[in-house]
């Protein structure tokens, strides 16, 4: 039974998130319906990251199995035809080894969070960045963020309804830098993230950026392992899943 790997982009604004839900259209449902439309078979797609409503993706990865083989190019083109008019695109499709799993084979996930920190309202970037009143001190935000690197109990920065078995995660990369004159970009890399972890961290770093917190305050919030010590949770619209890493030997045939 052939297994296919998909690389996917989407604008999360019109979806209830990646995972199929009863209260609206999800990215998973849109793609599963597209697979059935061209192949005649009902399938389940397994994604590398269960992005929330409003969260975007530049490098989501998913896999599914079909009882009949098609060329990867046909799969890509057929899916892109049948997902219309939804804002989701399969940028690549490939045959994968039978033990490849988009979620469990992943060795790292990469996220970008975009903050617009000027006063004028947005036009073209509306819904794609967090319009946070500023200006923000990106240097102070980056310096404070370094206390979150490494292995920690991230209870302070997880959603109250997070279903992960443990709040312990290892943050490999956490960088904050100005991108042009009016945006600040936060880039985070870890093998896996807790529910709302990146958005919670961004909201707490915003407190540093406006001068209400310093690096010690952020470190104290982390050490407290107390959700009530977290800053505001940054809105979903600024968050992007930009890529997922896999071992080369298990990536594709």
Out of 105, 137, 161, a domain closes at 105
Q: What per-residue confidence (pLDDT) applies to 117? A: 95
Out of 64, 83, 105, a domain closes at 105
- Answer yes or no: do 112 and 43 share one domain: no
Q: What per-residue confidence (pLDDT) applies to 26? A: 97
Q: Kindly report the average pLDDT of the chain as a whole number.
A: 95
Out of 79, 105, 131, a domain closes at 105
pLDDT bucket at 1, cuts 50 / 70 / 90: confident
With 80 as the cut, is the pLDDT of residue 253 above it?
no
- What angle separates helix 197-209 from helix 215-224, to the nearest 10 degrees? 150
Q: What per-residue confidence (pLDDT) applies to 252? A: 45
CATH of the domain at 57: 3.30.70.580
The DSSP letter of residue 100 is: -
Beta bridge partners of 150: 171
CATH of the domain at 193: 3.30.70.660
Domain range for 222 is: 108-243
Could you tell me if residue 87 is inside a domain? yes
Could you tell me if residue 164 is inside a domain? yes
Taking only the tens place, the pLDDT of each residue in 185-233 is 999 999 999 999 999 999 999 999 999 999 999 999 999 999 999 999 9
Could you tell me if residue 248 is inside a domain? no
Taking only the tens place, the pLDDT of each residue in 9-42 is 999 998 999 999 988 999 999 999 999 999 999 9
Could you tell me if residue 251 is inside a domain? no
Q: pTM value?
A: 0.95
Under a CB-based contact definition with an 8 Å cutoff, are residues 1 and 66 in contact? yes
Taking only the tens place, the pLDDT of each residue in 89-136 is 999 999 999 999 999 999 999 999 999 999 899 999 999 999 997 799
The CA angle 49-54-59, to the nearest 5 degrees, is: 40
- Answer yes or no: do 127 and 50 share one domain: no
- Answer yes or no: do 49 and 124 share one domain: no
- Answer yes or no: do 127 and 208 share one domain: yes
- Answer yes or no: do 92 and 133 share one domain: no
Q: What per-residue confidence (pLDDT) applies to 30? A: 97
- Answer yes or no: do 87 and 114 share one domain: no
Under a CB-based contact definition with an 8 Å cutoff, are residues 88 and 31 in contact? yes
Under a CB-based contact definition with an 8 Å cutoff, are residues 54 and 237 in contact? yes
How many whole angstroms separate alpha carbon 187 and alpha carbon 200? 14
- Answer yes or no: do 135 and 211 share one domain: yes
- Answer yes or no: do 97 and 164 share one domain: no
Could you tell me if residue 147 is inside a domain? yes
Residue 182: active-site member: no
Q: What domain count does the chain have?
A: 2
Under a CB-based contact definition with an 8 Å cutoff, are residues 204 and 178 in contact? no
Q: What per-residue confidence (pLDDT) applies to 134? A: 78
Q: What per-residue confidence (pLDDT) applies to 249? A: 55
Catalytic option among 52, 137, 245, 251 = 52
**DSSP codes of every residue in 102-152:** TTTT-SEEEEEEEEE-SSSPPSTTTTTSEE--S---HHHHHHHHGGG-EEE
How many whole angstroms separate alpha carbon 11 and alpha carbon 88? 7
- Answer yes or no: do 82 and 131 share one domain: no
What separation, in Å, do the N-terminal and C-terminal C-alpha atoms of the chain show? Answer: 14
Could you tell me if residue 252 is inside a domain? no
How many whole angstroms separate alpha carbon 159 and alpha carbon 33? 30
Could you tell me if residue 36 is inside a domain? yes
- Answer yes or no: do 125 and 200 share one domain: yes
With 50 as the cut, is the pLDDT of residue 8 above it?
yes
Q: Residues 6 or more apart from 123 whose CB is under 8 A from it?
A: none
- Answer yes or no: do 12 and 75 share one domain: yes
């Amino acid at each position: 039974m052939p297994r296919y790997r998909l690389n996917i982009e989407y604008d999360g604004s019109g979806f209830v998130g990646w995972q199929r839900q009863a209260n609206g259209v999800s990215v998973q449902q849109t793609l599963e319906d597209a697979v059935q439309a061209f192949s005649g078979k009902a399938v389940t797609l397994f994604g590398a990251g269960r992005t929330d409503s409003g969260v975007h993706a530049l490098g989501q990865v998913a896999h599914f199995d079909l009882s009949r083989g098609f060329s990867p190019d046909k799969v890509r083109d057929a899916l892109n035809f049948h997902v219309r008019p939804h804002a989701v695109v399969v940028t690549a499709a490939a045959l994968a080894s039978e033990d490849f799993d988009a979620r469990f084979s992943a060795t790292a996930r990469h996220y970008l969070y975009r903050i617009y920190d000027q006063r004028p309202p947005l036009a073209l970037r509306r819904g794609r960045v967090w319009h946070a009143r500023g200006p923000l001190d990106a240097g102070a935000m980056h310096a404070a963020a370094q206390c979150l690197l490494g292995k920690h109990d991230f209870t302070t920065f997880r959603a109250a309804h997070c279903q992960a078995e443990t709040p312990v995660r290892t943050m490999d990369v956490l960088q904050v830098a100005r991108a042009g004159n009016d945006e600040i970009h936060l880039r985070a890399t870890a093998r896996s993230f807790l529910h709302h972890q990146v958005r919670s961290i961004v909201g707490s770093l915003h407190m540093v950026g406006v001068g209400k917190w310093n690096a010690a305050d952020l470190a104290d919030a982390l050490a407290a392992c107390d959700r009530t010590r977290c800053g505001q949770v940054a809105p979903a619209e600024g968050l992007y899943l930009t890529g997922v890493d896999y071992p080369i030997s298990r990536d594709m045939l």
